[in-house]
Amino acid sequence: MMHPAGGAAPDLTPRTLRRLLSPPRLRRLLRFGVGGLLVGCMAVAFAEAADGAQSLFAWITDGRLWLAPILGALGFGISALAAQRLFPAAPGSGIPQCIAAMRRPLELVPSQLNARTGIGKIALCLFGLACGASIGREGPTVQVGAVILASLTANATPARLRRVITAGGAAGLAGAFNTPLAGIVFALEELAAGFDIRNRMAVLAAIFLSSAVAIAVLGDYTYFGRHPLDFTVVAIPVFLLVAVLAGILGGLFGRCVLALTRLLPRLFARFGRWSVLAAAASCGLLAGLIGLAAGGATFGTGYEPTRLALEGGHALAWWFFPAKFAATALASSAGIPGGLFAPSLSVGAGFGAIFAPLVGPDLVPSLMLVGMAAYLTGVTHSPVTALVLLAEMTGESRGLAILIPSVGLAWLGSRLVLRHGLYHLLAERILARAGWNPSATT
C-alpha cells in the first residue's frame, strides 16, 4: 500500500504493533526514560552547584585577587592528585572517556563510566571552579550522564552499552545547555559516529526527558539569552575571516593541549610519585597569575563576561582572547576534571570581539557568536553540533545563513593543524594506555 504522498505506508499491522509494544521494548523505553529524568536532575543540580562554586571563588577573592594564584596552585594540585589516586577516569572533559568506551564497551565501561568516577567527576569539577579553574561543567555532565544510564543496564552487550553511552551522554549535553536538538546531533556526530545505534526511540526519550527536567526547573531559557545574529553583505568577508581564523586557532588549542599533556610528565618526572601534584600546581599557579593580570576575567567558565558582552553591557578587551585561551589550555592539561565547552565558547567570543572595529557596533554580538561556533568547531571538529548548539542557545535561526558557511570554513581551517577533533585524539590515548588499538572496535 502506498502513502498518499507517494511513499510506503507505515506498517501498523497487529503483528508490528505487538512487536513495538512488546514487554522488552516497553521495559527498555521505561529504563531510558527514567535514566533521562535522572540525568536531567543531575544536570540541573550540577549547574546550580557550579554557579555556587564560582560564587564562592568570587567571594574569597573579592578585594583579595592576589589569593588567586595561591588558590590555583593548591586547588589544581589537590584536584589532580585526588583524581590520580582515587578517580583515575575523572581527569579532563569526560567526553574522550565516553568515546573510548564506545570503541571497547565491555572492557572500558567498568573503568571509565562507573559510579565512583561519576561522583569524583562532579566533586572535583566543582572544587576546580571554586579555585578559579577555567573549566566547564558540560563535558563532565556528558560523562556522568553516561554513568547514570550505564548503571541502569544489566546483561550488557557491546551494542547495548553503546546505546546507553550515546543516550546518557547526549542527554547530559541536552540537560546542561537546555538544547535537545544539539543533544541529538552530538550523539550522532560525536559519540555514535561509525556505529549503528538501534532503538533510537529509547535514546530520544532519554534526551528529551533530560531537557524537559531542565525546562521544568529552570524555565524555558536560552544559555546566553536571545540575540539576533544579524549581518550585512559588506560585513560577510569579515565574518568568514573570523570563522577561518577561529577554526585554525581551535585546532592550535588542541595541539597545545596534546603537547602540554606530553611535556608536563617529562618535565616534572624528577618529583617521582608527586610529579602529578607538582605539574598541576604549576599550571594552577600560572593560570592564577594570568587571571590576576586580567583582573579576574579568565576565571571560571567565562559565562558572565561573554553574556555581558553579548548583551552590549561590557565589551571584551582585546587581551581577553589570549588570556582565556592560555588559562583554558593550562586547566585542560593539568589533569584536573573539567570540561571545554563553555570556556571554548568564551574564547571564541573573545576572538570575534577583536574584529569589532571592522564592523558596526550593532554587528559585534553577531561577530562574537560566529567566533564561538567557529572556535568550538575547531576544537571538536563537530561543525553540526556547534551550529545547532549556538542556534538553540541563542534562540536564533535567522543567522543560519552565516553560521553554516562559518562552521564549514572553521572545520576546514582546523584540519590544517589538527587531524582529528581533540576529544577523539584524547580518546585514542585512553585506548592506547589500556593496551587497545585505537582504530579497532568490538
Task: Please provide the DSSP assignment of 274-319 as one string.
Answer: GHHHHHHHHHHHHHHHHHHHTTTTTSTTSHHHHHHHHTTSSPPPTT
Q: What is the DSSP letter of 339?
A: B
Phi, psi of 337 (to 5 degrees): -70, 135
**Residue 195's pLDDT band (cuts 50, 70, 90):** low
User: What Cα–Cα distance (Å) separates residue 392 from each residue in 38, 46, 206, 224?
Assistant: 22, 20, 18, 10
Please provide the average confidence, as pLDDT, over all residues in the chain.
Answer: 88
Q: What is the pLDDT of residue 22?
A: 64
Q: What is the pLDDT of residue 216?
A: 87
The whole-model pTM stands at 0.91
Q: What CATH number should be reported for the domain whose range is 27-218?
A: 1.10.3080.10
Q: What is the pLDDT of residue 142?
A: 94
**Residue 219's pLDDT band (cuts 50, 70, 90):** confident
- Asked if the domains 27-218 and 233-430 are classified in one and the same CATH topology, the answer is yes
Q: What is the pLDDT of residue 194?
A: 61
Q: Is the dihedral of CA 359, 364, 367, 371 positive or negative?
A: positive
Q: What is the pLDDT of residue 15?
A: 61
Residue 99's SS3 state is helix
Q: What is the pLDDT of residue 192?
A: 74
Q: What is the pLDDT of residue 178?
A: 79
Task: Give the mean model confidence (pLDDT) for residues 271-280.
Answer: 95
- CB under 8 Å to 180, separation ≥6 — which residues? 174, 207, 208, 210, 211, 392
Task: Give the mean model confidence (pLDDT) for residues 395-421.
Answer: 89
**Residue 278's pLDDT band (cuts 50, 70, 90):** very high
Weakest-pLDDT range from 7-16, 86-95, 143-152, 176-185: 7-16
Q: What is the pLDDT of residue 207?
A: 87
Strand-pair partners of 337: 92
Domain boundaries, the chain: 27-218, 233-430
User: What Cα–Cα distance (Å) separates residue 22 from each residue in 13, 25, 26, 119?
Assistant: 14, 5, 6, 35
Q: Which grid coordinates belong to 185?
A: 546531533
Q: Which grid coordinates belong to 152?
A: 541502569
Q: What is the pLDDT of residues 67-107, one digit of tens each?
A: 999 999 999 999 999 999 999 999 999 999 999 999 898 88
Task: Give the mean model confidence (pLDDT) for residues 263-269.
Answer: 95
In this prediction, what percent of the chain has a pLDDT beyond 70? 90
**Residue 227's pLDDT band (cuts 50, 70, 90):** confident
Q: Which grid coordinates belong to 81?
A: 592528585
Is residue 419 within 8 Å of residue 380, measured between CB atoms?
no
Matching residue, cell 563510566: 113
Q: What is the pLDDT of residues 38-63, one digit of tens each?
A: 999 999 999 999 999 999 999 999 99
Q: Which grid coordinates belong to 210?
A: 533530560
Superfamily of domain 233-430 in the CATH hierarchy: Clc chloride channel (1.10.3080.10)
